[in-house]
Amino acid sequence: MWLLAASVLLGALRAGSAQLILVGTSIIERNDCNATVVLPCYVTNLEQNNEKVMFVTWKKQGNTIFSYRGETKKTNTDPAFSSARFLSQVDLVKGVASLVLSSAQATVGNYSCEVTESNREGEVKMELRNSSVVSCGDETPEEKCGSWFLLVERAVMISLVCSLVILCAAQLTVIGLKYEIESQKKVCTIVALVIFAVVAGVGAALFIQDGYTVQNQAGLGLMVIPAVIVIPLQYVMFGIAFDSLMQATLALIGLKLLGFIIAVVGFALCVPVCPPLHGSVLIAGLAIMAIASLLSLVYVNGLRIMGSRMKDHPRPGKAVEEPLNDAKGVMLE
C-alpha cells in the first residue's frame, strides 16, 4: 500500500517537473499613444538557465509570428510582424520571453507564448484588445482622454483653421468689390490664400485620422504653422482699404499675431506628449486668430457700408480743405 502511494507521488512529481510554468497577463490593452506593445511571458521554473537548450515560439490565432532557437541563435519572423523582438534577449536565460511589437503591427487577437527547455515545455495565452481611453496623468487618474486628441478636439481645430481661410477670403472679396486692387497685389494675395488653404487641407486629412503617428503630428503642423500667412495678408488687405493703418486695425493685426504665437506654443507642447495635456492652449490660439479675422471682416464691411474713413470717401479734413481751396482760386481770379 505504501509502495503504491509512493509510486503515484513520484509519478506526479516527475510529471510536474516536465512542465514549464509560464505566467503572463490574460488581457492586454493597447491604445494609440503606445509606440510599442509588450506581450508578457515569463518562465518561473527554469532549471538549466541555458539559452542553447531553449526554444521560444510566439503565435497569433495559432499561426507562428516569431520563433527563436537558442542553439543556433536563429530567429524567424513573419513579415507582417517584422518589428517583433524579445523584450530582453539577455534575460531569456532568466525566463523572460516577452515579445515587443510596434503599435502598428500589434493587431488585436489571441496570442500565445510557448517555451521549451530541453524536454520540458509550457504555454501561456493572452488576448490583445484596443483601449479607447487612457489616463491623462498621475495627478488626475480618474480623468480619461482619447488617443492623441479626442475626435471633438480634432473637429474643433480643423473647423477653426477652415474658418480662418473662409474669413480671409470673405474679407478679400468685400475689399475687391469696393476697390480696384493692383493686379500683381491681387494675384499674390489670392495665391497666398490658396496655398494656405491647400496646405491646411492636406494637414487636416492627415490629422483627422486616429492614432499618434508621424502623419498625425505632421498634419497638425501643416494646419498650425502655415497659418502665419494670414497675418501679412491681413496687413495687405487693411492697406488696400485704408489710407493709413489706424489703431483699431493695428490692434486687430496684433491680436491675430498673439493668437498665432499661442497656437504655436500649444503645438510645441502637444507634439511630444500623448495624450496631450495642453491641447486647450492650441485651441485657444486658433480661436483667437479666428475671432480676430471675424472682427476684421466686420470692421472692414461696417466701414464700407458707413463710408467713413475709406479711400473712396474723403476724410473730414480733406472735405473742408477742398472748398477753401476752390474759394481761394475764385478770389485770385
Average of per-residue pLDDT across 48-56: 91
Tell me the one-letter amino acid at 322. E
pLDDT, residue 299, reads: 83
Same domain, 91 and 158: no
Which structural domain, as residue segments, surrounds residue 101? 20-131
Same domain, 176 and 289: yes
- b/e per residue, 7-18, with b = 16+ CB within 10 A? eeeeeeeeeeee
Q: What is the pLDDT of residues 300-317, one digit of tens each?
A: 777 655 554 444 444 333
Same domain, 183 and 226: yes
pLDDT, residue 304, reads: 55
**Quick check: 28 and 129 in contact, CB under 8 A?**
yes
Within-domain flag for 101: yes
Within-domain flag for 210: yes
Least confident of 27-31, 282-286, 321-325: 321-325
d(CA 237, CA 252): 12
Same domain, 211 and 310: yes
Within-domain flag for 266: yes
Same domain, 53 and 187: no
Confidence of residue 4 (pLDDT cuts 50, 70, 90): very low
Residues in a beta bridge with 299: none
Alpha helices in 147-278 (DSSP H): 151-178, 183-207, 214-224, 230-241, 247-270
Residue where a domain stops, chosen among 131, 159, 179:
131
Residues in a beta bridge with 259: none
Within-domain flag for 277: yes
Least confident of 24-28, 50-54, 58-62, 319-323: 319-323
Least confident of 65-69, 132-136, 284-288, 301-305: 132-136
Tell me the one-letter amino acid at 13. L
**Quick check: 263 and 286 in contact, CB under 8 A?**
yes
Q: Count the domains in the chain.
A: 2
Confidence of residue 99 (pLDDT cuts 50, 70, 90): very high
Residue 209 burial class via C-beta count within 10 angstroms: exposed 0-12, middle 13-18, buried 19 and up: middle
Same domain, 94 and 166: no
Q: Is the pLDDT of residue 79 over 80?
A: yes
Cell readout for 242 is: 485704408
What does 192-220 look like in DSSP terms, one character per residue? HHHHHHHHHHHHHHHHSSSS-SHHHHHHH
